């Protein structure tokens, strides 16, 4: 058997290309955040994670440009050795204070943050329990750890409790969940989850990639519920609300210090370039000093939730600026995506295995910088497409 046989047989993309509905790897020629340019044509972007719209903010761009001029393009080494800059540590201190924790560690990507932190914390005799809709980086981080993995049905905290009550008291337990689930847009029930973890002596790790900058005045899920002490470790990313690249983890000083000295994705990766550090720094300062960006984001999110529901679309249980349009069939989802793409909207089609077979959806998401005219146009385009595809 040739190990490459699976590569030669792979044809999912070819079939979609033949039908003219392949939606991935579209090369944009330009972007200003709320709109993108494809083959000279402008589309309204409602598929981005640029929640606060800060990628084009003058302060963020100026901070990145100044750092590029001062430090150059790369640190060319690991934080562990020659790639540690004072600004890395200054950003970590500011992040810890912002998130209400003792310490923080900055990784080169959000994916690396979860891979490194989770795998470092899960030892050979430990058990990690995850929600079945947790992000792929959580799944992979658990696989890299040396412990046993258990999963519970999405948001089924009764099942989580049944799992925990069967684990011996002397065994290490870590529960890992998303704060905001990236496909459905729903928020974890932190009050109930925190109580269960406390009851059974389990530590709680929350991935706030889609929560920081969005919930709790920008400070994430724990702040949203005023439950900072219930979460032991929080992960965040710079590639969304922070308008940059990278990731971070915050928690108790000793926990972060342990991750810093044992997380392989941290130790064996080149450090985050200075211009990404300073872009994230600038975005953090904007979140702290200009709360109107978060307020505008939520105004736009509620406007779109109301609009979609009034039109009759199935948007599930979303509670955030992530608004899924449930379609069902994979090919129908691709065809709906193509209809919207051709008429001026960019969305993200999500099909199996990213979601269960027969539960395909379009993932839409919104920014503080979207104008109401853009959002009304998006709803008008969706209404026409929804009727064409019998979704409303």
**pLDDT single digits (tens) 80-130:** 999 999 999 999 999 999 999 999 999 999 999 999 999 999 999 999 999
Both 90 and 131 in a single domain?
yes
Both 104 and 251 in a single domain?
yes
Both 64 and 50 in a single domain?
no
The average confidence (pLDDT) of the chain is: 96
DSSP secondary-structure letter at 392?
-
Q: CB-based contacts of 39: which residues, under 8 Å, 6+ apart?
A: 29
Q: Is 182 marked active-site?
A: yes
Q: Could you give the number of structural domains in the chain? A: 2
Q: Is 240 marked active-site?
A: yes
Domain end position, chosen among 274, 289, 304: 289
Residues 242, 284: contact at Cβ < 8 Å? yes
Cis bond leading into 353, ω under 30°?
A: yes
Domain end position, chosen among 227, 258, 289: 289
Catalytic residue among 48, 182, 239, 269: 182
Both 70 and 93 in a single domain?
yes
Burial 95-122 (b: 16+ CB within 10 A, else e): bbebbbbebbbbbbbbbbbbbbbbbbbb
Stretch 310-334: mean pLDDT: 97
Domain end position, chosen among 254, 273, 289: 289
The model's pTM is 0.96
The tokens for 295 are 């307020």
* Angle formed by the axes of helices 253-262 and 110-121, nearest 10°: 100
CATH number of the domain to which 149 belongs: 3.40.640.10
Catalytic residue among 57, 135, 210, 275: 210
- Separation CA 211–CA 219 (nearest Å): 8
Question: Which residue range is the domain that position 175 belongs to?
Answer: 57-289
Both 189 and 226 in a single domain?
yes
**pLDDT single digits (tens) 234-277:** 999 999 999 999 999 999 999 999 999 999 999 999 999 999 99
Where residue 378 falls among pLDDT bands split at 50, 70, 90? very high
Q: Is 137 marked active-site?
A: no
Catalytic residue among 57, 101, 240, 338: 240
**pLDDT single digits (tens) 82-93:** 999 999 999 999
CATH number of the domain to which 302 belongs: 3.90.1150.10
Which 3 state secondary structure label does DSSP give 150? strand
């Amino acid at each position: 058997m040739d190990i490459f046989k699976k590569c030669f047989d792979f044809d999912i993309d070819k079939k979609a290309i033949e039908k003219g509905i392949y939606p991935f790897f579209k090369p944009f020629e330009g972007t200003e955040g709320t709109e993108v340019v494809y083959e000279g044509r402008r589309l309204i972007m409602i598929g981005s994670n640029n929640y606060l719209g800060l990628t084009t903010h003058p302060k963020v761009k100026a901070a990145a440009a100044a750092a590029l001029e001062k430090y150059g393009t790369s640190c060319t080494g690991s934080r562990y050795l020659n790639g540690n800059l004072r600004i890395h540590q200054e950003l970590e201190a500011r992040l810890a204070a912002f998130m209400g924790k003792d310490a923080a560690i900055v990784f080169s990507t959000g994916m690396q943050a979860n891979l490194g932190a989770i795998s470092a914390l899960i030892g050979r005799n430990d058990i990690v329990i995850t929600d079945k809709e947790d992000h792929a980086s959580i799944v992979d981080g658990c696989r890299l750890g040396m412990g046993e993995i258990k999963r519970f049905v999405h948001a089924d905290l009764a099942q989580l409790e049944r799992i925990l009550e069967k684990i011996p008291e002397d065994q290490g337990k870590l529960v890992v969940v998303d704060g905001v689930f990236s496909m459905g847009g729903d928020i974890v029930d932190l009050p109930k989850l925190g109580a269960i973890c406390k009851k059974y002596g389990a530590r709680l790790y929350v991935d706030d990639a889609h929560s920081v900058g969005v919930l709790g005045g920008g400070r994430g899920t724990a702040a949203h519920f005023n439950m900072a002490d219930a979460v032991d470790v929080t992960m965040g990313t710079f590639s969304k609300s922070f308008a940059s690249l990278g990731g971070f983890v915050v928690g108790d000083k000793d926990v972060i210090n342990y991750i810093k000295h044992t997380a392989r994705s941290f130790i064996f990766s080149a450090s985050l370039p200075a211009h990404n550090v300073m872009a994230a720094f600038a975005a953090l300062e904007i979140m702290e000093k200009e709360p109107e960006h978060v307020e505008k984001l939520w105004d736009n999110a509620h406007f779109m939730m109301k609009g979609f529901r009034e039109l009759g679309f199935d948007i599930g249980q979303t509670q955030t600026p992530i608004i899924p349009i449930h379609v069902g069939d994979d090919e129908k989802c691709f065809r709906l995506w193509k209809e919207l793409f051709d008429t001026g909207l960019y969305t993200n089609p999500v099909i199996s295995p990213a979601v269960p077979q027969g539960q395909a959806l379009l993932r839409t998401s919104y920014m503080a910088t979207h104008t109401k005219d853009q959002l009304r146009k998006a709803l008008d385009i969706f209404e026409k497409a929804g009727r064409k595809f019998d979704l409303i």
